[in-house]
Amino acid sequence: MTSPRTTLSLVDTDPAELAVDAIVIGVHSQTTEQESGSPAGALLLASGAESIAAAFDGKLTETLALLGATGGPGEVIKLATLGTVTAPVVAAVGLGPEPSGAAPAPETLRRAAGAAVRALAGAARVALALPLPDDADAPAALRAVSEGALLGGYRFAGYKTKPQPARRTPVAEVLVAVPDVADATAQAEVTRAQAVAGAVRTSRDWVNTAPNELRPPSFADAVATAAREAGLGVEVLDEAALAAGGYGGILAVGQGSEAPPRLVKLTYTPSGGGNGKRVALVGKGITFDTGGISIKPAQGMWEMKSDMAGAAAVGAAMLAVAALKPSVAVTGYLPMAENMPSGTSYRPGDVITMYSGKRVEVLNTDAEGRMILADAIARACEDGADYLFETSTLTGGQVIALGKKIAGVMGTPELCERVRAAGDATGEPAWPMPLPDDVRKGMDSEVADISQVNAVMDRAGHMLQGGVFLREFVTDDVAWAHIDIAGPGYHSGEATGYWTKGGTGVPVRTLLHLVDDVAANG
């Protein structure tokens, strides 16, 4: 199911003269008295709104304040223009306190653009006159505004049988005001933002799809179809091919469901061979997770349709890679299974022979994600990779430790730091975590090479247990990073910034930033 798409383009017309349904400007909150004498608590217009302010004879901020505007981050206040400018509505979006001697941070602009476009649902055509610096930071700011607008306009198509009110229809077209629409750098940023935001929206669509409509075979078909249309190489291993290939972990998790498991491999080869480096992306694709025999509590289980968010992110990121054409080889691996309780389910106490040949003692069938990821990681290392980035909604321990918006990162220290930096740059924060020896010691098995979980520590260090287990399947010559997105992969609260309720698309933008980083710097 595909959500309606918002289009985006640049414009250098005076914002006051734009023929749109609404014009968005930025306002800052003021925390101290200014040299001009304006008191603390007054609103400050951000740059880009000058012509709009002039049309209101200098009374724009006063009027907005009367309507309750504070300039707080993400706040949107709408004002009827009554003919003062061409657009019938001005929407002022809060940017927080004015930065000292600098433009707002890219993430501030990204969230503001998303909040404004979301708040203007029902308008067909919206223009953004938000502050863009005129220095080296301009491309990053324009990228942020463009991404935020496109993602803020996202709404899952859904399954409602009654037509929805027109006021809920996402904005169809967004114009971003810039000094010069002919500027090649600006055009390149918009082109990139469209590819990246399109990938994030695709990832969100897959995560938000009802689990009865996205079981492993249909998910594999959807990814494969999109990948072929994008020009990627596609290989899909069905249950027979998985059995023949010895993918014990994927088969074990999937054997409890009537919908058999899959492994999808997507390949991008740069023209001329690129810079000679090889990047592997691996994503967990549990299309629904009941916990299996170790069944989960019923409360909140419906959100387990999002347990394939890692695979959705990798598949969508590969579509963007095909469009952006970086100078580095990238291969995506998407193991898919449905974790169900039945007479054929794998059990606590089972010993599974993995693709790598290692034998794993199963202690908890709800720790299934690491089982399918281990096979995919081993295959990626066997195929050849210099850098391996794996992402998954792996552990509730990530949420306990870092909350709902910060991913946990484990693996090669240097690569974990690159993931952290990429997260900071894209607004998808991540924090490096350790892989302690005592956690690994508690996973020693009496009957196999390793236990699936740490029976001694139980839930203690739960996020770290997942990373320690996956490390066993990465070969020594591959730099790797495991990105646990159990919290940020799915947003169950009210819409905020450019996040809507449901799938977030995290960490698509981080993965693409990392691919660009490897393409540029090895």
Please identify every residue annotated as catalytic.
296, 370
Give the contacts of 186 (CB within 8 A, at least 6 positions apart): 10, 138, 139, 142, 178, 180
Identity of the amino acid at 168: R
DSSP letter string over 63-94?
HHHHTT----TT-EEEEE-TTSSSSSEEEEEE
Contact 221, 215 (CB under 8 A): no
Q: Could you tell me the two tokens for 309?
A: 């968010």
Place of tokens 């324009």: 142
**Identity of residue 517:** D
The 3 state secondary structure assigned to 116-157 is HHHHCCCCCEEEEECCCCCCCCHHHHHHHHHHHHHHHCCCCC
Say how far apart CA 512 and CA 514 lie, in whole Å.
5
**Please, what is the end-to-end C-alpha distance for the chain in angstroms?**
37
CA atoms 103, 105, 108, 112: torsion sign: positive
Q: Give the separation between CA 301 and CA 340, rounded to whole angstroms.
A: 12
CB atoms within 10 A of CB 51: 17
Residues 6+ apart with CB under 8 A from 269: 233, 329
State residue 282 phi and psi, 5-degree precision: -125, 135
CA proximity to 433, closest of 488, 369, 483: 483
User: And the tokens for 11?
Assistant: 């414009």
Q: Tell me the two tokens of residue 6.
A: 């918002």
CA-CA distance, 448 to 18, in Å (whole number)? 69
- CA dihedral 107→112→115→116, nearest 10 degrees, is -150
